[in-house]
Amino acid sequence: MKIARVAIDVPVPKLFDYHAEGLGPGDIGQRVLVPLGNRNVVGIVVAVDIDSAVAPERLKRVRRVLREVPALSPCDLDLLRFAAAYYHHPLGAAVMAALPGALRRARLSRDRAALGYLVTPEGERANLDTLPRRATVQRRLLAALKHQRELSWDALRSAAGPKAGVAVKQLIMRGWVRSEQRADAPAQAPRSPTVAGGPALTPEQIQATGTIAASFGRFGAFVLLGVTGSGKTEVYLHAIAAVLRAGGQALLLVPEIVLTPQLEALIHSRFPDTVVATLHSRLSEAERLQHWRAAQDARAGVVLGTRLAVFAPIPKLALIIVDEEHDLSFKQMDALRYSARDLAVVRAKQMHVPVVLGSATPALETYHNAVSSRYRLLHLTKRVGAVMPQIECINTHGEHLVDGLSQPLLQAIAARLGGHEQSLVFINRRGYAPVLMCRACGWLSACHRCTAQLVLHVADHRLHCHHCGAQASVPVACPDCGNQDLAPLGQGTQRVEVALARQFPAARIMRVDRDSTRRKDMWPTVRQRIQAREIDILVGTQILAKGHDFPHLSLVGVLNADSLLYSTDFRAPERLYALLTQVAGRAGRGDKRGEVMIQTEFPRHPLYEALRRQDYASFAAAALTERRQAGFPPFVHQALLRAEAARLETSLAFLDDAARAGRALSQHVVIYDPVPAGMVRRAGRERAQLLVQAASRSRLREFLGKWYERLSAAPSTRARWSLDVDPVEF
């Protein structure tokens, strides 16, 4: 009797057994349709056996084997098994979350990449004047098809842009266009890809590239510590070129979706006949499936994506690169709470390939691994074709600020406007003002679902919660006392934009934050306008701080930098140093030296002193010394048990029971008392947390395995709970 053990997307840590006659070991990793309760669901076969602990009469049969897509490889499953075990998450939920949405259903649409689109005889005779006046995309598509006779999906997108899918569907419904399987759909990446020439490498870049290339074919972890503008991307591209020449595939992980278009364009220009698969959350379901399959069947020589791309099936993987590896975006904060950076290292080790972790400010855990020789440290100490910017701290203590802007910063912006140079004013806070306040009674615009304030947005004249998404209209008078004098307190990007427009009415100002770049196709347009010098002053959040190269931007002003100095999070200084280094790195990429002006009330703070010297090594050494003395990571290893319920008492009671159970399991693990979370209420749920730590990672893993099993088997509770291994937020 053949038994298939199937991973299904359910929140229980178990596999499900099914009768599976006709399945063999070669079907491990294959999608199957199986009954679960009174419905049919898609799962993944993770093992085939001849016996089951379930009585034979209770076993149901596999309904259908879904062979439209090749099975996940043993290496793909090994990584998912490790992730589910290490982060203590149900394997079925982890496996299914790693698949494109289309593969979680039994019915699979055809792959657009393998389709050709042709004009029909009716389309040839069609009168374009019969189309609605607004159907400009349909007209453009039909004209292109009449001229070319047949177009691929990529060619359609190039001809008509992001609305090509809707337009071609409408033309197919009219009978003017049809699709068919293309005989020339590429099956694999070219054996000898074209590599276009790039800029000449510096001696440091040559040494770094050579060291990485020498490790091909075996595991090696490299930390590429390069100052901003030192050409880390060129090192990546030369390493990728070597991989492509050898017939391999490369995985490049980036922290932000907005970084993918410019990197994709750069990779296309350098490797014009190489297929690039991009994977991130803003792709449509069909697009994600298309790119995922291009990676799986090795058509894509380069796979570029955000954190979820670490699970992409890449059979010929030869190199992994994690750019801006310190970034918090690589940590998934819900469901499977994994670190893509750490899993990239695990995957590289499993597949015996090198992994490169690049950053100007590596995470202290990564830097500690490098200086303790677990990883190999590669240095890029000089900018390519430019000098490092000059960093100045403006003392704002007791100074009168004009709309939050100091006089030295305003004068510097005016000077850049006079010289036709660009400026960036950075404030890491969206909206117009962080809070609305009544001057008479002190009422604040609080979110009723979170322990947070509603942020004033002037574009839609509403109050927004940036944590749960709740919105409310702006009251005309104070809800408590009726006073109509409601004042916005603090600053966000919208208020800074208004203030700069008041100070410099002739300047062309653009705000760049998550609100202004929410549309899928917005960022490429924004970037093009900046490059074309159509913008004089940029106002933005950390979206602008990472990886962008604006050659005409010579001034960066930083507002509200001190806010992170007050944080109780022990990682706050590290994050502030990294953020300021990244945003400062946007200045002076061209032929003029950049200037960075940081407004602060503590200009002599050691963090700002190290930043002025641009001395990451001394900052990291001091921070690691403090962490060693305080008993913080990387010198201990932590996990955080979180609980949330309708009432805080319910969450704390669950954690009290969990703490007692944990203390009975091990004496080698420190279990702290439960406490309310930093943000106690979020989205109407009251939250608490319990910290666990150990000096040994292996002992912590052993304990967490037993503890998680006991918590999962405990009687049901009204509290929802989750376990976060290696937490980065408290």
pLDDT tens-digit profile of 465-477?
999 999 999 999 9
Return the percentage of the chain with pLDDT > 90, whole number: 68
Q: Which two tokens stand for residue 226?
A: 């390069």
Task: Outline which parts of the chain fall under CATH 1.10.10.
Answer: 112-181
The span from the CA of 321 to the CA of 198, in Å, is 19
Q: Is the pLDDT of residue 178 over 90?
A: no
Taking the CB of residue 562, how many other CB atoms lie within 10 A of it?
16
Q: Is the pLDDT of residue 517 over 80?
A: no
Q: Which CATH number fits domain 637-725: 3.40.630.10, 3.40.50.2300, 3.40.50.300, 3.30.70.600?
A: 3.30.70.600
Q: Is the pLDDT of residue 185 over 50?
A: no
Domain 112-181 has CATH 3.30.200: no
Asked if residue 651 lies in contact with residue 719, where contact means CB atoms within 8 angstroms, the answer is: yes
* Fold classified for 203-380: Rossmann fold (3.40.50)
405: pLDDT confidence band, cut at 50, 70 and 90? Answer: very high
Entry field: residues in the chain: 730
Q: Is the pLDDT of residue 380 over 90?
A: yes
The span from the CA of 384 to the CA of 199, in Å, is 10
The span from the CA of 9 to the CA of 134, in Å, is 43
The span from the CA of 588 to the CA of 388, in Å, is 7
Q: Is the pLDDT of residue 640 over 80?
A: yes
Phi, psi of 459 (to 5 degrees): -60, -45
Question: Sign of the CA dihedral 509, 515, 517, 521?
Answer: negative
Asked if residue 128 lies in contact with residue 367, where contact means CB atoms within 8 angstroms, the answer is: no
Asked if residue 478 lies in contact with residue 415, where contact means CB atoms within 8 angstroms, the answer is: no
3-state helix, strand, coil in the chain (%, to 5): 35, 25, 40
Per the prediction, the chain carries an average pLDDT of 90
CA 442 to chain centre: 38
Task: Outline which parts of the chain fall under CATH 3.40.1440.60.
Answer: 3-104
Q: Which two tokens stand for residue 148?
A: 């070319």
The per-residue pLDDT for 191 is: 53
The span from the CA of 230 to the CA of 530, in Å, is 21
The per-residue pLDDT for 519 is: 67
CA 298 to chain centre: 24
140: pLDDT confidence band, cut at 50, 70 and 90? Answer: confident
Q: Which of 46-50, 211-215, 724-728 has the lowest mean pLDDT?
A: 46-50
Task: Outline which parts of the chain fall under CATH 3.40.50.300.
Answer: 203-380, 390-429+491-625
What is the DSSP code (8-state) at residue 75?
H
Q: Calculate mean pLDDT across residues 346-362.
A: 98
CA 109 to chain centre: 27
The single residue listed with the structure tokens 């199937």 is 6
Q: Is the pLDDT of residue 360 over 50?
A: yes
122: pLDDT confidence band, cut at 50, 70 and 90? Answer: confident
Parallel, antiparallel, or unpaired for β 300-305 and 275-279? parallel
Exposure class string for 83-99: b at 16+ Cβ within 10 A, else e? bbbbbbbbbbbbbbbbb
Question: Which of 537, 551, 469 shows the shortest CA–CA distance to 499?
Answer: 537
Q: Which of 98-102, 285-289, 503-507, 701-705 has the lowest mean pLDDT?
A: 285-289
The span from the CA of 232 to the CA of 360, in Å, is 9
**What are the beta bridge partners of residue 553?**
422
Q: Calculate mean pLDDT across residues 297-319.
A: 96
The single residue listed with the structure tokens 């001395």 is 615
The span from the CA of 277 to the CA of 310, in Å, is 13
Domain 390-429+491-625 has CATH 3.90.550.10: no
- The burial of 191, by beta-carbon neighbours within 10 Å (0-12 exposed, 13-18 middle, 19 or more buried), is given as exposed
The per-residue pLDDT for 1 is: 76
Give the E-state strand segments of 467-524 in sequence order.
471-473, 486-489, 509-512
Taking the CB of residue 155, how many other CB atoms lie within 10 A of it?
16
Task: Outline which parts of the chain fall under CATH 3.30.70.600.
Answer: 637-725
Q: Is the pLDDT of residue 102 over 70?
A: yes
The span from the CA of 492 to the CA of 571, in Å, is 23
Cβ neighbours for 133, distance < 8 A, ≥ 6 positions apart = none
Return the percentage of the chain with pLDDT > 70, whole number: 96
Cβ neighbours for 373, distance < 8 A, ≥ 6 positions apart = none
The span from the CA of 467 to the CA of 455, in Å, is 10
Give the E-state strand segments of 16-114 in sequence order.
16-19, 31-36, 39-49, 60-61, 64-66
Q: Is the pLDDT of residue 131 over 90?
A: no
In whole angstroms, how far apart are CA 101 and each of 32, 287, 502?
Answer: 15, 11, 47
Q: Is the pLDDT of residue 531 over 50?
A: yes
Question: Which of 375, 634, 417 shows the shortest CA–CA distance to 506?
Answer: 417
Q: Calculate mean pLDDT across residues 260-268.
A: 88
Question: Which of 358, 364, 322 shows the shortest CA–CA distance to 577?
Answer: 364
In whole angstroms, how far apart are CA 126 and each of 120, 171, 614, 649, 702?
Answer: 10, 11, 65, 70, 70
19 or 131, higher pLDDT: 19
Q: Calculate mean pLDDT across residues 430-444.
A: 91
Q: Which CATH number fits domain 3-104: 2.60.40.10, 3.90.870.10, 3.40.50.2300, 3.40.1440.60?
A: 3.40.1440.60
The per-residue pLDDT for 187 is: 45
The per-residue pLDDT for 183 is: 46
- pLDDT tens digits, one per residue of 665-681: 988 999 999 999 989 99
3-class secondary-structure state, position 557: strand
Asked if residue 339 lies in contact with residue 319, where contact means CB atoms within 8 angstroms, the answer is: no
Q: Is the pLDDT of residue 227 over 50?
A: yes
The per-residue pLDDT for 137 is: 84
Q: Is the pLDDT of residue 721 over 60?
A: yes
Q: Calculate mean pLDDT across residues 50-66.
A: 91
Crossing angle for the helix pair 364-371 and 616-630, to the nearest 10 degrees: 100
182 or 92, higher pLDDT: 92
The span from the CA of 480 to the CA of 444, in Å, is 10
Crossing angle for the helix pair 136-148 and 153-160, to the nearest 10 degrees: 130
Taking the CB of residue 409, how many other CB atoms lie within 10 A of it?
24
- pLDDT tens digits, one per residue of 64-85: 999 888 899 999 999 999 999 9
113: pLDDT confidence band, cut at 50, 70 and 90? Answer: low
Question: Sign of the CA dihedral 663, 664, 666, 667?
Answer: positive
Q: Letter for the amino acid at 235?
A: V
The per-residue pLDDT for 471 is: 94
Instruction: Quote the longest CA-to-CA distance of the chain.
Output: 84
Q: Is the pLDDT of residue 189 over 70?
A: no
Question: Which of 416, 408, 360 shows the shortest CA–CA distance to 600?
Answer: 408
579: pLDDT confidence band, cut at 50, 70 and 90? Answer: very high
Q: Calculate mean pLDDT across residues 383-412.
A: 92
Q: Is the pLDDT of residue 38 over 50?
A: yes
Q: Is the pLDDT of residue 459 over 70?
A: yes
What is the DSSP code (8-state) at residue 453?
B
The per-residue pLDDT for 182 is: 55
What is the DSSP code (8-state) at residue 58?
G
Q: Which of 32-41, 169-178, 289-298, 588-597 has the lowest mean pLDDT?
A: 169-178
In whole angstroms, how far apart are CA 670 and each of 667, 695, 702?
Answer: 8, 9, 14
